[in-house]
C-alpha cells in the first residue's frame, strides 16, 4: 500500500507527462540539495529523489498508478460493473444432478408440473471467481440459467395461425435471462451466497455460490 502520494511530493497531478516530472524534480532538487541548494533539506531531497526514481521509470510508474488507484478508491464506492455472465450450462465443468436432470427440474416450473415444482428445494453449487479488486470493493456477478420465457410470436398462447412454429404450441421458448448476484465489499475466499431463481420462474432450484478469490 502506498505510504504517500509521489505526485504530490513533486507538486504534480497524477497525469503529468514525463517531461513535467523531470522539470519538477530538477526545480525542487536545486532548491533543497544538501550541498548546493538555496535551502538545503536532506530529508526533502531524499523524498523527491525516491519519488522521481519511481515516476521516471515507466514500469515502476505503471505499477504505482495501479496500486494508488486501488488504495484511493473509497470503500463506499458502488460495486464494480458486472463481470462476464456465468452460463451454468456451458461454464460449469461438473453438474450434479446431471444437466439432463437439471433441465428436467427446470421444465417442471413451466410445463404443467406445478406440484413437482413446489417440492423439495434443490441446490446447484457453482463458483464465482473474483480478482482481488472485485473482492475488495464488491461486484455484480450475472448468472445465466437455462429456463423458458413466454413465446413472443404467439404471446404465450401456443397458437399462431394454427400451431405456433416457434414454441410448437407450448407457449414457451428456451431462454437464459441473467440473474445477478451482488457481492458486497470485503468478500473472502470461501464465502457463500444464495441466489433465488424465483424472478425467472424457477421455484424449485437455488444457486449456492462459493466465492473463489484468484
Number of domains, the chain: 2
In this predicted structure, what is the pLDDT of residue 118?
Answer: 47
In the structure, how many helices (H) and strands (E) does the chain have? 8, 8
Distances (CA, A) of 114 to 6, 129, 197, 205: 64, 34, 16, 13
In this predicted structure, what is the pLDDT of residue 93?
Answer: 45
In this predicted structure, what is the pLDDT of residue 96?
Answer: 53
Distances (CA, A) of 73 to 67, 131, 152, 168, 169: 10, 16, 44, 53, 53
Q: Is residue 135 part of a domain?
A: yes
In this predicted structure, what is the pLDDT of residue 85?
Answer: 64
> Which residues, other chains included, contact 107 with Cβ-Cβ below 8 Å and sequence gap of 6+?
113, 148
Q: What are the 10-residue block averages of pLDDT along the chain, 214 residues in total?
A: 73 86 90 84 91 92 74 48 60 55 74 53 80 83 80 80 80 79 87 86 84 85
Asked if 144 and 57 sit in the same domain, the reply is no
In this predicted structure, what is the pLDDT of residue 82?
Answer: 55
Quote the CA–CA distance of 169 and 157 in Å, as a whole number: 7
Candidates 185, 184, 158; CA nearest to 172 is 158
Give the chain's length. 214
Domain that holds residue 136: 86-213
Q: Is residue 62 part of a domain?
A: yes
Asked if 91 and 129 sit in the same domain, the reply is yes
In this predicted structure, what is the pLDDT of residue 56?
Answer: 93
Asked if 59 and 130 sit in the same domain, the reply is no
Distance of CA 169 to the CA centre of its chain: 40
CATH (domain of 145): 2.60.260.20
CATH (domain of 53): 1.10.287.110
Asked if 139 and 191 sit in the same domain, the reply is yes
In this predicted structure, what is the pLDDT of residue 74?
Answer: 44
Q: Is residue 13 part of a domain?
A: yes
Candidates 27, 154, 151, 144; CA nearest to 91 is 144
Q: Is residue 79 part of a domain?
A: no
Asked if 131 and 197 sit in the same domain, the reply is yes
Q: Is residue 81 part of a domain?
A: no
Candidates 80, 91, 83; CA nearest to 145 is 91
Question: Considering the entire predicted model, what is its pTM?
Answer: 0.49
Amino acid at each position: 500500500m502506498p505510504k504517500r502520494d509521489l505526485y504530490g511530493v513533486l507538486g504534480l497531478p497524477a497525469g503529468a507527462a514525463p517531461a513535467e516530472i523531470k522539470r519538477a524534480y530538477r526545480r525542487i532538487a536545486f532548491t533543497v540539495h544538501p550541498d548546493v541548494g538555496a535551502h538545503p533539506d536532506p530529508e526533502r531531497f531524499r523524498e523527491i529523489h525516491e519519488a522521481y526514481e519511481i515516476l521516471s521509470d515507466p514500469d515502476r510508474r505503471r505499477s504505482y498508478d495501479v496500486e494508488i488507484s486501488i488504495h484511493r478508491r473509497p470503500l463506499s464506492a458502488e460495486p464494480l460493473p458486472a463481470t462476464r455472465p456465468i452460463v451454468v450450462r456451458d461454464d460449469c465443468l461438473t453438474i450434479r444432478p446431471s444437466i439432463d436432470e437439471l433441465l428436467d427440474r427446470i421444465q417442471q416450473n413451466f410445463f404443467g408440473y406445478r406440484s413437482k415444482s413446489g417440492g423439495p428445494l434443490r441446490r446447484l453449487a457453482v463458483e464465482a471467481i473474483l480478482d482481488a479488486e472485485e473482492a475488495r470493493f464488491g461486484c455484480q456477478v450475472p448468472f445465466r440459467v437455462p429456463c423458458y420465457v413466454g413465446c413472443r410470436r404467439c404471446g404465450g398462447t401456443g397458437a399462431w395461425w394454427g400451431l405456433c412454429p416457434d414454441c410448437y404450441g407450448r407457449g414457451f421458448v428456451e431462454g437464459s435471462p441473467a440473474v445477478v448476484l451482488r457481492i458486497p465489499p470485503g468478500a473472502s475466499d470461501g464465502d457463500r451466497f444464495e441466489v433465488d431463481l424465483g424472478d425467472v420462474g424457477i421455484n424449485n432450484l437455488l444457486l449456492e455460490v462459493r466465492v473463489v478469490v484468484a
